[in-house]
Amino acid sequence: MTEQYSETIAGLSKDLRDKKYSAVELTQYFLRRIASSNKILNAIITTTQEQALAAANEADQHIAAGDTNPLTGIPLLHKDIFCTDGIRTSCGSRMLDNFIAPYDATVVAKLHGAGAVMLGKTNMDEFAMGSSNENSYYGPVRNPWDIERVPGGSSGGSAAAVAARLAPAATGSDTGGSIRQPAALCGVTGLKPTYGRVSRYGMVAFASSLDQAGTLTTDARDAALMLNVMAGPDHRDSTSIDHPVPDYSATLDDDISGLRIGIPKESFDEELDDSIATQVNAAIKQLEARGASVKEITLPNMKKAAVAAYYVVASAECSSNLSRMDGVRFGYRCEHPKDLADMYARSRGEAFSREVKRRIMIGTYTLSAGFYDAYYLKAQKVRRVIAEDFRRAFSDIDVIAGPTTPETAFKLKDKTDDPIRMYLSDIYTIAVNLAGLPGISIPCGFSQGLPIGLHLIGNMFDEARLLNVAHQYQQDTDWHRQIPEQIQPGDS
């Protein structure tokens, strides 16, 4: 980062209020960074320069009038899964390449209402299905730490953009690890709140019972600022939960001595890269140094059973959720359909990628007559068992700690031919979605120049504690302040 601009929302917000620079200047700065770096990273699908400058100008007027809040004038990127009124929402798919929603997602509207400035929409795995961001109609996103490697997915564009400081923060969505896994692989802070904490209205559905909107930021303090705005019930989303929203910033500095950390022994298995184990253990030691106690726990179903249940439930829900993409009212329609069946088959056949089709087929199969009990119902039972495992674990611990991913960023094309290996990238994160719990990934070191993520899991609605622990850790470490050299700005 140049000395002129702070690197966090908190810092930028203070500078804006101190009038060190204007919101318009700040927006122009990030737009320049996007213009110079996005060609390489491909992290952003749509840049909304005009709207951004107009919003920044408006923010400057609020700042001049002294009417500000922490996000006033702060540039942000939205994952292209969030509908934006009048601006394309592609979801990384050819299917929605021409789709312009006539409404804002609740998350978008809330952040806009808080004065944030949308710079554009980030690249993603098509319909959030993927763990490497190679599965996008707009091409793969590259990891700013090594552009031959993937940024993770599905919020890979958001993670790469924040890592490369193309924006101080971005929104993401997490169905099985889609915020936390790319956050780990890109060295940023990724928060997935409790299911129902943030409205899903206007977020294109992948797996409705698992999807949750969250944030990608440089640090936990910024995640708290974002969540303060995003959290809360929404009358347009029946599954959003009316649970009190605390001030997440207020408890960041709380002392964590006495914190009880559970370490699931299942997280430290033979699949885990040794260098990651070393760094994650060091991070846990760091928390112990601040007075936390550590206890080994067991979550016997968090891996194999969870991944199996996840791919049944998520595929079933997506097969139904994606049915509306039929070429009738919006989205892609094939040329010269012979008849209705041909229109459906070719529109969907031509616009969906292999991975999306694979999941639709798995989901259609598991829901079909005669298989429903054996797959979908059984998977829901496994899900309840997993939730029960967590509930038991949280009876005498406060947070669970472990690695976010079994390995660091892998090479492009490394796993594209082997979906099962790709699915296992989320092996430590998936159970959290099945149980509906909050989780956060924070940078905790490097292995051969590639970032490593520490995964913290909280109890229901315990985001404040997760952010507190993450922030305390970030007081003692500077992993989250590292910026990939390759994309250090030269022109700003």
Partner 1 sequence: MQWETVIGLEIHVRLSTRSKIFSGASTAYGTEPNTQACAVDLGLPGVLPVANEAVFRKAVKFGLGIHAEISKRSVFDRKNYFYPDLPKGYQISQLYLPIVGRGKLEISLNNGEESKIIGITRAHLEEDAGKSLHEEFRSMSGIDLNRAGTPLLEIVSEPDMRSAEEASAYMRAIHTLVRYLEISDGNMQEGSFRCDANVSVRPKGQVQFGTRTEIKNLNSFRFMERAINHEVGRQIDILENGSEVIQETRLYDSDKDETRSMRSKEDANDYRYFPDPDLLPVIIDDDYIEAVRHTMPELPNEKRRRFMQELGLSRYDATMLTGSKEMAKYYEEVLAETRQARLSANWVIVELISALNREKLDISQSPIDAKRLGGIIKRIADNTISGKIAKQIFEQMLTSKEDADSIIEAKGLRQITDTGALESMVDNILAGNPKQVEQYRAGQKKVLGYFVGQVMKASQGKADPQQVNRILRARLEN
**Catalytic machinery residues:** 79, 154, 178
- HSE at residue 109, side-chain half, CA atoms within 13 A, is 16
For residues 65-124, which are near partner 1 according to CB under 8 A?
82-83, 89, 91, 96, 99, 101-103, 105
Q: Render 91-121 in DSSP notation, one character per residue.
A: TT-GGGTT-B-SS--HHHHHHHHTT-EEEEE
Q: By C-beta, is 60 or 317 nearer to partner 1? A: 317
Do 72 and 195 meet the contact criterion of CB atoms below 8 Å apart? no
Q: Interface with partner 1 includes 325 (CB under 8 A)?
A: yes
CB of 422 to partner 1, least distance (A): 24
Q: Interface with partner 1 includes 461 (CB under 8 A)?
A: no
Question: From edge to edge, which strands make up the β-sheet containing 75-79?
Answer: 44-47, 117-122, 75-79, 169-174, 212-217, 189-192, 439-447, 450-458, 399-403, 260-264, 293-297
Q: Interface with partner 1 includes 372 (CB under 8 A)?
A: yes
CB of 409 to partner 1, least distance (A): 30
Q: By C-beta, is 30 or 375 nearer to partner 1? A: 375
Q: Interface with partner 1 includes 381 (CB under 8 A)?
A: no
DSSP strands (E only) in 123-208: 169-174, 189-192
Q: Interface with partner 1 includes 4 (CB under 8 A)?
A: no
Burial class from Cβ neighbours inside 10 Å (0-12, 13-18, 19+) for residue 5 reads buried
Do 185 and 159 meet the contact criterion of CB atoms below 8 Å apart? yes
For residue 154, is the peptide bond before it cis, meaning its omega torsion is within 30 degrees of 0? yes
For residues 283-312, which are near partner 1 according to CB under 8 A?
none
Q: By C-beta, is 150 or 198 nearer to partner 1? A: 198
- Which H or E element spans position 17? helix 9-17
* Token pair listed for 326: 């039929």
Do 40 and 131 meet the contact criterion of CB atoms below 8 Å apart? no
Q: Interface with partner 1 includes 360 (CB under 8 A)?
A: no
Picking from 193, 197, 132, the residue whose alpha carbon sits closest to that of residue 159 is: 132
**How far from 192 is each of 24, 109, 220, 437, 441, CA to CA, in Å?**
30, 19, 12, 8, 9
The piece of 260-268, 323-331, 427-435, 468-476 that touches partner 1 (CB under 8 A) is 323-331
The piece of 47-55, 217-225, 273-281, 366-374 that touches partner 1 (CB under 8 A) is 366-374
Q: By C-beta, is 38 or 347 nearer to partner 1? A: 347
Q: Interface with partner 1 includes 239 (CB under 8 A)?
A: yes
Would you call 173 helix, strand, or coil by DSSP?
strand
The piece of 65-73, 110-118, 319-327, 426-434 that touches partner 1 (CB under 8 A) is 319-327
The three-point CA angle 20-442-402 to 5° equals 170
x/- string (CB under 8 A) for partner 1, residues 183-202? -----------------xxx
CB of 306 to partner 1, least distance (A): 18
Q: Interface with partner 1 includes 330 (CB under 8 A)?
A: yes
Among 2, 4, 98, 238, binds partner 1 (CB under 8 A): 238
Q: By C-beta, is 40 or 374 nearer to partner 1? A: 374
The residues binding partner 1 (CB under 8 A) are 82-83, 89, 91, 96, 99, 101-103, 105, 200-205, 207-209, 235-239, 316-317, 319-320, 322-326, 328-330, 340, 344, 364, 367-369, 372, 376
